[in-house]
């Protein structure tokens, strides 16, 4: 049985046409002389095509080269990660080389009852010598997959069993930026991977919360196909009498409903899917403000993903700098997933809202001529009420 491959079918067909003699292709697949081989190959399954491709040494080598260009076996999701500390190049290489040599023995263990049991390294970090140079940190993680036994002859028929799958993830980072990109096919693995980076590599990082303007900048030049909105108020005074909604249309950007929703100040866009994105040749891209999540339905080559990642980081940092000047609410909310620890204890939601207002006041005061800011009475009342948790 041939294992699942991330290489798209269209690329496997092209590799066969380049590397395998047409006579051999016709013989293996029993394609008649009068039939166009290229067109006929599209009718076969990916596994059948791979069998043809690996029938020669040249084909096997070309297939291995193609697989190396697709880092994940699933369609990748990218997560923008805010980085406050990252090891320098030489330290990273030395540490990851040791971790890769130790392999499973140097894992971070999360528990046999968890969907992600462990994370570790089997390959050391490397550097992409592009401008600017990017570091690549490859990781693997154990994913538990539960399934129901379907064999009617099995004595365990209908029972739930589990199997472990070893999955890949990649971190891309350049010290020119304050963000890294995490490529991962499973959302439940994101926080375990961040934990591994913190414990084993000394990385301090957190998932951000993108502002609405950041979402719009990342989607700039693309065509909206779907959009999700949530309400900022509890009382609705229009036909959209729901707290949250997602709308879709092939020509969504031209619809009255979409135009009305994006102009409605009582609602905010939380996610969207966009086609014809300027940073992608194939497929579209989805963007969610929560956790800085970016996904694509198309399996993309590593070089395409890296180019997309660089553009996303650059756009995010430009918008973040802009919001620090003109939209403090969005700027502070960007860091809301970073826990605030006071006297060894994480503060709660109520205290966090007050803390964020204090941060906003500090930034505002520093920008003012006299370095002062005035609080309203209600905020002072709330601050005094929560002072024991914030002192």
For 104-119, the pLDDT digits (tens) are 999 999 999 999 999 9
In this prediction, residues 73-100 reach a mean pLDDT of 92
- Looking at residue 10, its pLDDT comes to 86
pLDDT tens across 153-170, in order? 888 888 888 889 889 999
pLDDT in tens, 335-391: 988 888 888 888 888 899 889 989 988 888 888 888 888 888 888 888 888 888 777
Give tens-digit pLDDT for 327-342: 898 899 999 888 888 8
pLDDT at 189: 95
What's the pLDDT tens digit per position in 220-252? Answer: 999 999 999 999 887 766 677 888 999 999 999
pLDDT band at 3 (very low <50, low <70, confident <90, very high): very low
Q: Has residue 325 got a pLDDT over 50? A: yes
- Closest CA relative to residue 164, chosen from 152, 147, 150: 147
For the record, the structure tokens of 293 come out as 């999540």
For 143, list phi and psi in degrees, rounded to 5. Answer: -110, 130
For the cut 60, the answer to whether the pLDDT of residue 68 exceeds it is yes
Q: Average pLDDT, whole number, for the chain?
A: 89
Q: What is the pLDDT of residue 1?
A: 36
The pLDDT score that the predictor gives to residue 69 is 73
For residue 63, is it left (φ>0), alpha (ψ between -120 and 50) or beta? alpha
Helix (H, G, I), strand (E, B) or coil at 286: strand
Euclidean distance between CA atoms 23 and 32, whole angstroms: 10
Q: Report the SS3 class of residue 135.
A: strand
CB 241 within 8 A of CB 254: no
Task: Report the pLDDT averaged over residues 55-63.
Answer: 86
Kindly state the average pLDDT of the residues 177-193: 95
pLDDT band at 298 (very low <50, low <70, confident <90, very high): confident
- For the cut 60, the answer to whether the pLDDT of residue 2 exceeds it is no
- CA dihedral (329, 332, 334, 339) positive or negative: negative
Which percentage of the chain shows pLDDT scores above 90? 46
Most distant CA pair in the chain, distance: 87
pLDDT at position 283: 74
SS3 label, residue 194? helix
Residue 202 scores a pLDDT above 80? yes
pLDDT of residue 4: 64
Which letter does DSSP use for residue 58 in this model? Answer: H
The tokens describing 236, both together, are 């609705």
Contact 297, 283 (CB under 8 A): yes
Residue 371 backbone class (left: φ over 0; alpha: ψ -120 to 50; beta: rest)? left
Tell me: pLDDT of 190 over 90.
yes
Q: Indicate if the pLDDT at residue 73 is higher than 70.
A: no
Q: 226 Cβ partners below 8 Å, 6+ apart?
A: 246, 247, 248, 252, 272, 273
pLDDT of 5 reads 74
Please report the pLDDT score of residue 252 as a whole number.
96
Q: Which residues contact 233 (CB under 8 A, 6 or more apart)?
A: 266
**What is d(CA 294, CA 76) in angstroms, rounded to the nearest whole number?**
9
Would you give the DSSP letter of residue 52?
A: H
């Amino acid at each position: 049985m041939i294992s699942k491959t991330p290489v798209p079918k269209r690329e496997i067909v092209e590799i066969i046409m380049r590397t395998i003699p047409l006579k051999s292709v016709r013989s293996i697949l029993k394609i008649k002389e009068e039939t166009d081989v290229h067109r006929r190959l599209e009718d076969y399954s990916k596994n059948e095509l791979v069998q043809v491709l690996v029938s020669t040494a040249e084909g096997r080598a070309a297939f291995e080269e193609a697989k190396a260009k697709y880092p994940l076996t699933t369609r990748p999701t990218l997560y923008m990660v805010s980085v406050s500390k990252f090891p320098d190049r030489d330290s990273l290489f030395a540490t990851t080389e040791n971790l890769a040599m130790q392999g499973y023995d140097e894992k971070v263990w999360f528990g046999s009852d968890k969907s992600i049991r462990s994370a570790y390294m089997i390959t050391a970090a490397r550097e992409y010598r592009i401008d600017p140079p990017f570091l690549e940190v490859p990781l693997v993680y154990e994913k538990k997959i539960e399934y129901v036994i379907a064999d009617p002859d099995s004595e365990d028929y209908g029972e739930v069993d589990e199997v472990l799958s070893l999955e890949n993830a990649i971190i891309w980072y350049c010290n020119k930026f304050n963000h890294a990109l995490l490529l991962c096919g499973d959302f439940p693995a994101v926080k375990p991977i961040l934990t591994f980076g913190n414990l084993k590599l000394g990385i301090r990082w957190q998932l951000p919360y993108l502002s609405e303007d950041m979402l719009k900048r990342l989607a700039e030049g693309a065509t909206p196909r779907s959009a999700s909105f949530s309400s900022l108020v509890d009382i609705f005074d229009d036909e959209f009498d729901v707290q949250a909604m997602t709308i879709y249309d092939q020509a969504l950007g031209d619809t009255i409903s979409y135009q009305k929703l994006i102009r409605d100040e009582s609602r905010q866009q939380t996610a969207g899917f966009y086609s014809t994105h300027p940073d992608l040749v194939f497929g579209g891209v989805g963007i969610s403000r929560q956790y800085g999540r970016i996904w694509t339905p198309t399996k993309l080559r590593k070089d395409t993903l890296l180019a997309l990642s660089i553009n996303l980081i650059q756009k995010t940092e430009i918008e973040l700098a802009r919001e620090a000047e003109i939209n403090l609410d969005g700027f502070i909310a960007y860091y809301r997933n970073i826990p605030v620890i006071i006297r060894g204890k994480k503060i709660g939601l109520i205290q966090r809202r007050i803390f964020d207002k204090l941060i906003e006041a500090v930034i505002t005061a520093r920008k003012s001529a006299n370095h002062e800011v005035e609080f309203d009475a209600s905020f002072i009342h709330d601050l005094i009420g929560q002072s024991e948790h914030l002192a």
